[in-house]
Chain A
Amino acid sequence: MTEYIVRGIQAGSIYGLLALPMSLLFATAGTIDFAVGAYALLAAAVATIVAGPLGIAVAIVAAITAAAGMGVIFLVLTRIGTKDHIVFALASFGLAVAIASFILWQFGTQAFVRASFSQFWSLGGIRISPQGVINLGLGALVTLLLYLLLYWSDLGRMMRAAAANPSGAELAGIPVARIQFGTYLAGGLLGGLAGIMILYSAGLDFTASLSLTLGGFGAAIIFGITSPLRCLLGGIAMGVAEALAAGYTSGMVTAMVPFLFVLIVLSVSNLGGAMAGDRP
């Protein structure tokens, strides 16, 4: 039991990382970037062909570039007067499909996975993977940095202003469009980081992008999508649920956990309030 929980906590930080961009983008632009999982996939794929620390850097840059593409699409759509938030989501969905297809074309159906540590630590009889600890540490570090950015910097204050009241922020001289574009870039950075972490832990293949996005979204909404800081906790909750399902139920249930999580949270929580707002 404890072992499953520990394992779940280690794996959950990846969901937490994927959840952060969901929450940030939802707060600042009111939409969802379906391509976050695709950025992770792209980063993992690039990191497999370029070796070493340089590979990680190149992979992150590739993910951010893809996210910049999405940001440009967002800006163009805004410029031509698109107000329906679901159109942005739809466009990011198109980008996600395109990236997954690109990976399939260039890399084939191979699984991207790389073992980093062959030794496991043992703590009171529980096996702990060093990579899991690194994942958890990175997740916590990124969350902490994001907290500092959001609540202790000018940029963070502008982001929160843009989220709370876009037109008011615009009137106050805050470049709302640029901040939203920056949020898309952050999605690329965080998604890419998550992709690298998955590469060194469980691995993934070209079909993973949508379920990663959905997993991140699930982690983001469990404790309320409006606060990015709850994402890490949400991710850990999801990871633990998945690990417990893997330990005590069939493989079918384990594979379903992220999706069931989303369905259950959407149907029981009062997310209607958090995600409220009529169609324009």
Chain B
Amino acid sequence: MRGLMSRPNTMIMLGLAIASVALAARDPVWIDTWVIVGVYVLIALSTGISYGQAGILSMSQGAFAAIGGYAAAVSTLRFRLPPGIDLLIAAALPALLAYGLARLVTRLTPLATALATLALGSVIEIALRNMDNITGGYIGLAGIPGIGIIDTPLKYCVLVWALICLCVLMYENLVNSPFGRALNVIRHDRTRAQADGVNVPQLLSGAFAFSAAIAGSAGWLYAHYISYISPNSLDTHTSISALLMTVIGGSGIILGPLAGTVFLDVLVRHLPAQELQGMFYGGALILILILAPTGLLGLMPALLARLRVHRGPRGTIKAATAKPEATL
């Protein structure tokens, strides 16, 4: 218990996940929405790890998720592997690819690395579209079986959000570990990290591989839940959305990607036309970069401090009631 208490983000995440799944369980439409939102939260969390911690502005998380999804589809449909085992493949394949790419390019600047991930994402997408005999080309693969005992949308919903909690726990452990601190040093000053004896390329590549594995598992879940996957399911658009959600929520904060995903998803549902989504996302990104460079969640500490100052003696009560907002 003490271990969990020293991990506030995981505690908050656990509370939020339980409350939101319980709320969503009342309505089948909400369950479905919440599963898909959960998949996006996983991909956004993976972007948070790669950009917020390793400083790799990744535009290929959607492609990693697609590889995870296709790995799930191909290994269950073609090789008849029991669902569940394929999670290992779905996580390992993108991780390997990410590690290889990162070893090649992390010695370069963050800008060059970002472009390399964009290029890799595009290459993966084109490959998925064209390898007809494996991926089914433009048509995609249908009839992917469910995951064993997980057979209702509600169970998928619980599974997705449990996975999110697990990822947040691992993420928080990473941040509090020597590796996480070393990543922090690298992000601020690479030369300093080298002088401290940190193996910079290896650590960055490892963190990027970890984030790719999370994105791959998100794709695995998506494929099993929808039971169908095509090149349009998880594409560059997904990567871009995940990146924007992460930055808008707060890339350096563990729960930032979650906040960004939920915020944007809720707002997009109220847009008059689906085509406007990009304008909205892009505009929100620019506004956030100008008004709140640390993201939505980054605003919270200042907001809380202001509340405390203004409220005077009663501030403690006010701050305590305002706290749940800080988690969203």
Whether, in the assembled complex, A45 has its beta carbon less than 8 Å from a beta carbon of chain B, the answer is: no
Whether, in the assembled complex, B305 has its beta carbon less than 8 Å from a beta carbon of chain A, the answer is: no
Given A94-B289, A210-B236, A266-B104, A101 and B277 touching (CB < 8 A)?
Answer: yes
Whether, in the assembled complex, B188 has its beta carbon less than 8 Å from a beta carbon of chain A, the answer is: yes
- Are A272 and B130 interface neighbours, CB within 8 A? no
- Are B119 and A259 interface neighbours, CB within 8 A? yes
Given A32-B115, A91-B285, A91-B286, A105 and B275 touching (CB < 8 A)?
Answer: yes
Task: Categorize the interface residue count of chain B.
Answer: 35 or more
Among B55, B101, B286: residue with most chain A CB under 10 A: B286
Residues of A within 8 Å of B188, CB to CB, are 279
- Are A101 and B278 interface neighbours, CB within 8 A? yes
Task: Describe A's contact surface by its main secondary structure.
Answer: helix
Whether, in the assembled complex, B153 has its beta carbon less than 8 Å from a beta carbon of chain A, the answer is: no
Whether, in the assembled complex, A278 has its beta carbon less than 8 Å from a beta carbon of chain B, the answer is: yes
Residues of B within 8 Å of A210, CB to CB, are 118, 122, 236
Among B89-130, those with CB < 8 Å from A are 101, 104-105, 107-112, 114-116, 118-120, 122-123, 126-127, 129-130
- Are A278 and B190 interface neighbours, CB within 8 A? yes
Shortest C-beta distance, B272 to chain A (Å), equals 10
Residues of B within 8 Å of A256, CB to CB, are 122-123, 126-127
Give the A interface residue count (CB, 8 A): 48
Whether, in the assembled complex, A76 has its beta carbon less than 8 Å from a beta carbon of chain B, the answer is: yes
Whether, in the assembled complex, B263 has its beta carbon less than 8 Å from a beta carbon of chain A, the answer is: no
Given A277-B109, A279-B110, A279-B187, A251 and B130 touching (CB < 8 A)?
Answer: yes
Q: Would you give the 0/1 interface string for A238-271, flagging 1 where the beta carbon is closer than 8 Å to chain B?
A: 0000000000001110011001101100110001
Whether, in the assembled complex, A214 has its beta carbon less than 8 Å from a beta carbon of chain B, the answer is: yes
Given A104-B278, A105-B279, A277-B109, A214 and B289 touching (CB < 8 A)?
Answer: no
Output the nearest chain A residue to B121 by Cβ-Cβ distance: A259
Residues of B within 8 Å of A105, CB to CB, are 273, 275-276, 279
- Are B247 and A90 interface neighbours, CB within 8 A? yes
Residues of B within 8 Å of A262, CB to CB, are 115-116, 119
Output the nearest chain B residue to A31 by Cβ-Cβ distance: B111
Given A262-B119, A272-B108, A89 and B114 touching (CB < 8 A)?
Answer: yes
Interchain CA distance A77-B291 in the complex, whole Å: 9
- Are A90 and B285 interface neighbours, CB within 8 A? yes
- Are A76 and B126 interface neighbours, CB within 8 A? no
Q: A residues near B, CB below 8 A?
A: 31-32, 73, 76-77, 80, 82, 85-87, 89-91, 93-102, 104-105, 210-211, 214, 217-218, 250-252, 255-256, 259-260, 262-263, 266-267, 271-272, 275-279
Chosen A-B contacts, 11 in total, with CB atoms closer than 8 Å, are A77-B289, A85-B110, A90-B247, A94-B289, A98-B283, A98-B286, A217-B115, A259-B126, A263-B104, A278-B190, A279-B190
